[in-house]
Amino acid sequence: MSGSSLAELCWLFCWPPWPSRIAAKLAFLPPEPTYAVAAGGEASGGGLLRLSERADWQYTQRELDSLEVFFARTRRGRRIGCMFVRCAPGSRYTLLFSHGNAVDLGQMSSFYVGLGSRIDCNVFSYDYSGYGASDGKPSEKNLYADIDAAWTALRTSIDKITKVASPVLVIHGTEDEVIDFSHGLAMYEQCPRAVEPLWVEGAGHNDIELYAQYLERLKQFISHELPVS
């Protein structure tokens, strides 16, 4: 690439050379889908989850049966895949989880089961446009519409709380090579109801859950810092 002009670099990523398209190609790395949803409807009805071998499922059929999958429609007309992991049926809380940029719900499903079981909390997640079973293409504008649709689905397809007023826990690795640690600090400083954050010394972008304090802090947050309904 030595000596390449700006125009040549822009053409390499997209044409015409729109900055938003270049950013999308760099920020979003959807894998080949690792699951499919059979006989599923919109948020009013569920479907049958079919995982491929690449999903690397680590549990039994019993845990697999606890995963509810369905589609939700975004304001931009995209149809996104959603997953509700009923890890703790008696729990008062559900964690809304936005996964990383290079995985889909199939690859994350085992992690969700393990995480929810450890912190006694159900988990709700979704795939961005262009990921997994979601249609469309990944972009910044679609991403905002995706999270709005997921939040709406969590509040209305799934019989949960009607009003949310929860504290915010910010966790960030100090050696994150993808999302700089300064972003975590800024988020903590700007959240009006932020509780004591967890800065994991030495943790990077993809290994923070391997540190013991990660689960311990989540347990403390769930058990002692969230309001009792």
Q: Which residue has the higher pLDDT, 22 or 203?
A: 203
- State the helix-helix crossing angle for 140-156 and 19-27, rounded to 10 degrees: 60
Domain that holds residue 88: 29-161
- Same domain as 129, residue 70: yes
- Same domain as 152, residue 47: yes
Q: For residue 159, what pLDDT is reported?
A: 44
Tokens describing residue 99: 């996964």
Domain boundary among 161, 189, 211: 161
- Could you tell me the pTM of the whole model? 0.68
- Same domain as 140, residue 38: yes
- Provide the sign of the torsion angle of the four alpha carbons 81, 87, 90, 91, taken in this order: negative
Give residue-wise pLDDT tens across range 157-191: 744 433 334 688 989 999 988 777 887 887 787 77
Q: What's the domain count of the chain?
A: 2
Q: Which residue has the higher pLDDT, 216 or 191?
A: 216
- Same domain as 57, residue 42: yes
- Residue in this structure with the two tokens 């989540």, named with its chain if needed: 218
Give residue-wise pLDDT tens across range 75-116: 999 999 999 998 877 777 889 999 988 999 999 999 999 999
Domain boundary among 108, 132, 161: 161
- Same domain as 109, residue 93: yes
